[in-house]
Amino acid sequence: MTPPINEGSVVPRFRTGIGVDAHAYSVDHDRPMWLAGLLWPNEIGIEAHSDGDVAVHAICDALFAAAGLGDLGTNFGTARPEYRDASGLQLLAETIQLLSNAGYLISNVAVQIIGNRPKIGSRRSEAVAAISSALGGADVSISATTTDGLGFTGEGRGIAAIASALIYSSF
């Protein structure tokens, strides 16, 4: 959501941030897969302190970076037992609250998921809607890629995501 700029008004101050997250697939075949705010049935989940949603975690990190509020570990890290198995959507909601308290609103976020599975295309619009809703209606873009067999994502051992965020001062 780009802020309106009216004649005679103060131009909002924009800030950008980048976030990255990566995790290995779980050895526990019963661990659920959460990605881009969605449960992916019949997929093996991610080893992580929380739900392992790399897309949402990368978005949180991008938002924290843009606002100068630390990172995912600073705000929700393993030293905070209350975030054990927390959902990515819960983390997004708390991230939005921290941004709001700091005087920022979200213009848009973009995230690219890097891995062989799950295939994002068939659920892209559903994932965009879930994340946008969690972000209070902010514009969201989701893309996905493989690494053509290179690295731990290409070898099928894990999944990663990189996100960017554009925020602006609400003052």
pLDDT of residue 49: 83
With both helix axes pointing from N to C terminus, report the angle between 124-134 and 88-101 in degrees, rounded to the nearest 10. 40
Q: Residue 83 pLDDT more than 90? A: no
Mean pLDDT confidence for 131-149: 94
CATH architecture type of domain 14-169? 2-Layer Sandwich (3.30)
pLDDT of residue 81: 76
Residues in the chain: 171
CB within 8 A of 5, min separation 6: which ones? 11, 12
50-54, 57-61, 113-117, 167-171: least confidently modelled range: 167-171
Average pLDDT, the chain: 91
Mean pLDDT confidence for 152-157: 90
Mean pLDDT confidence for 34-49: 93
What type of residue is 3? P
> Strands, E, within the chain: which ranges?
14-24, 34-35, 38-39, 104-114, 139-145, 158-169
Mean pLDDT confidence for 56-64: 97
Q: Which residue in 112, 22, 37, 97 sits closest to 67, CA to CA?
A: 97
**pTM above the 0.85 mark?**
yes
Q: For residue 34, what are the CA distances in angstroms to 26, 40, 55, 88, 153?
A: 12, 6, 9, 8, 16
